[in-house]
Copies of this chain bind each other. A is one copy, B any other.
């Protein structure tokens, strides 16, 4: 919170709060158009099979069935690489084989059963390390290793680093297959009218989808409108165009009828994207005084059959490379294709996987050195002057040191933490912590960055942003920025978001960067509009433009307290219209790094294995808080998701068949409100040089720090190291029953 601002940094109610709490918000799933067809997919029961033939005659003859589409209907369609619109080889259980469009869902489902498919089952592999062995079944002709060879990141000399070390520690860590588990599954509603396609879509990237559809259907971008009024959760799954969009659009085009395709929950578990599992083999070298001398990491990611994340493993490696100062590092990123479901970015992409591994690894090393884990981090973490050690690019700000201090103070780490157990009785308590740093929030120079602002004749404001409202408050953030720049009241601002016909592209709402891209776009647009207002005011009020200010919807000259209503100025616009335009090329070679320190206090009931997170202090360097309420919400939500990553969530596959055995929230163990960790969000404002008003990203990083902080706290409580996630109570109990740890005795 800052006295120089009137709106920024204060707790601001969501602009769409009323709509959401009253259930009036219209999600894509809520759309139903007259004459609309419903689409259902026939999905492969095999993880790997060639489609020998499809006989859809009986399905087509079923009354109420309008169309059945198969691979040949999409043969000439260019869809998002590497995923074709439809393939004649099924590469995972749930891969689309045919689409039925019928008058209702029931008929479509009935028709699916009438389609006769001859499959030729092929050998399959669902373990990434197995997939890379020479005799593994080839899922694509070019082999199962993405890029054909590992990606190597290297700086300094790893040999020299190990040579300098007094201690070298090596361990293996692994994380599971996860589903984004959005409240709203993937869904598209397509309407084709007089050569113009309107597509309602639950998406994080309306403009990317617009371009993809235009290209796939070979029509002008001007004739495709994508609307995303609200997204019922994205978390990265909806950051790239889903297959349901091309299916619905194709059916709408062929039939002239609106077409809806909404995945069932189990279909979403099968065919939407997933967090890729990562296996990290880490080997770090340190001196006795705690100085890191070598970081060696081999990261293997399972990309599933198709991955939107590309070199997925690299993402896990990158976050490891940027938190600690270390001259010598060698990282190897290996991404394997398997016959598991598709993967892609999920909140913080590969960083939670990498951060879990590294921060547990660091905790072990600290213990081996006999150092306080906080002191060990303080000794090694990157400072502002270090910058990106691989790319030699300076940080724009770095509040990591303050994050550590704020978090350790909150938990009274200095007084309360001890290496030895401090609790008697069956319920043990422990403290743990972890650092996190990543490039989330950074802009890329290839990205769109824009915004539009209209000042109405009564001085009220319409804001137009291409940013999707993901549920994380983007609409409100854009409103705050415009209101702050223009000096108007929040009640007078209306924000239109994520409609390709109404707004301009400002990049996908991914990478925690919309406050930077969309926010900068709106800021520039508002400044442009403000400049026009000041010109009019200078004329109308016969005053020096430089002496004029606007606040709370009034215009002031010099230090006068007597304001002129903004309406009196706005209504005098030459041409009757004030439109502010903000467009800029994002800066190149600048990374706004997000930093965080998480501090956890847990209790472990040694009779049941139940882990309870008693406190989770999540301190984030977000540059500048735009909306206090929104920033706190992001940290809370992300850290709660990170807790579930640590303690419960996992999508499991049956080894002999490759079939997912828990494609539902209950058995997947999505946390309920009773499982939610009591997160205490804290914000460190490092005032970034690039972001609007100094802001950086804060959407994704809160996910990453939670799991190692909790795992380290569990170790502190019961003396058992967990290197695989999730750490379920069953797992804890099994390890305790196996006699591990210092159960029952005071440590």
Q: Which residues of A contact B (CB under 8 A)?
A: 16, 18-19, 22, 24, 193-196, 211, 214, 220-223, 446-450, 452, 454, 456-458, 460-462, 491-494, 496, 501-502, 504-507, 521, 573-579, 581, 583-586
Contacts and interface: CB of A to CB of B under 8 A. Distances in A.
A579 B577 contact: no
A459 to B, nearest CB: 8
B504 A577 contact: yes
Contacts of A221: 456-458, 460
A211 B18 contact: no
Contacts of A504: 454, 577, 579
Given A450-B575, A457-B505, 14 more contacts: A18-B195, A211-B458, A214-B458, A220-B492, A222-B461, A222-B492, A222-B493, A223-B494, A450-B577, A452-B579, A504-B579, A506-B576, A573-B583, A575-B586
A290 B582 CA distance: 64
A19 B192 CA distance: 11
Contacts of A222: 456, 460-462, 492-494
A16 B194 contact: yes
A24 B448 CA distance: 35
Nearest to A17: B194
Nearest to A32: B34
Contact of A583 (B22, B194, B211, B575): B575
A574 B220 CA distance: 21
B574 A584 contact: yes
Contact of A502 (B493, B501, B574, B578): B501
Contact of A194 (B18, B449, B450): B18
5 contacts: A24-B194, A221-B457, A223-B494, A462-B501, A581-B581
Nearest to A462: B222
Contacts of A505: 457, 576-577
Contacts of A578: 583
A260 to B, nearest CB: 17
A461 B221 CA distance: 8
A494 B16 contact: no
Contact of A577 (B193, B211, B448): B448
Nearest to A449: B575
Copy number in this complex?
2
Contacts of A18: 194-195
Contacts of A456: 220-222
A19 B496 contact: no
Contacts of A491: 220
A505 B454 CA distance: 11
A501 B497 CA distance: 11
Contacts of A584: 574-575
Contacts of A461: 222
Nearest to A19: B194
B579 A211 contact: no
Contacts of A506: 576-577
Contacts of A196: 494
**Among all A-B residue pairs, the 4 with the closest Cβ atoms:** A448-B576, A220-B460, A574-B585, A221-B456
Contacts of A575: 448-450, 521, 583-586
Given A221-B457, A494-B222, A502-B501, A574 B579 contact: no
A684 B505 CA distance: 44
A15 to B, nearest CB: 9
A522 to B, nearest CB: 13
A509 to B, nearest CB: 15
A140 to B, nearest CB: 29
A461 B502 CA distance: 13
A717 B579 CA distance: 59
Contacts of A521: 575
Contacts of A450: 575-577, 579
Contact of A457 (B16, B19, B24, B211): B211
A12 B211 CA distance: 28
A462 B493 CA distance: 25
A496 B501 contact: yes
Nearest to A489: B220
A492 B224 CA distance: 11
Contacts of A585: 574-575
Q: Give the most central of A221, A504, A581, A583: most B CB within 10 Å.
A: A221
Contacts of A496: 501
A292 to B, nearest CB: 40
A356 to B, nearest CB: 35
Contacts of A494: 196, 220, 222-223, 501
A572 to B, nearest CB: 10
A190 to B, nearest CB: 16
Nearest to A492: B220
Nearest to A221: B456
Contacts of A19: 193-194
A23 to B, nearest CB: 11
Contacts of A458: 211, 214, 220-221
Contacts of A573: 583
A579 B573 CA distance: 20
Contacts of A446: 576
A466 to B, nearest CB: 8
A579 B581 CA distance: 8
A214 B456 CA distance: 11
Nearest to A454: B504
Given A211-B457, A214-B458, A457-B211, A574 B583 contact: yes
A462 B207 CA distance: 14
A458 B583 CA distance: 18
A193 B574 contact: no
A255 B206 CA distance: 34
Contacts of A502: 501-502
Nearest to A493: B222
Contacts of A447: 576
Contacts of A214: 458
A69 to B, nearest CB: 24
A574 B502 CA distance: 20
A574 B504 CA distance: 13
Contacts of A507: 576
A448 B579 CA distance: 12
A571 to B, nearest CB: 9
A577 B493 CA distance: 24
A513 to B, nearest CB: 13
A586 B462 CA distance: 24
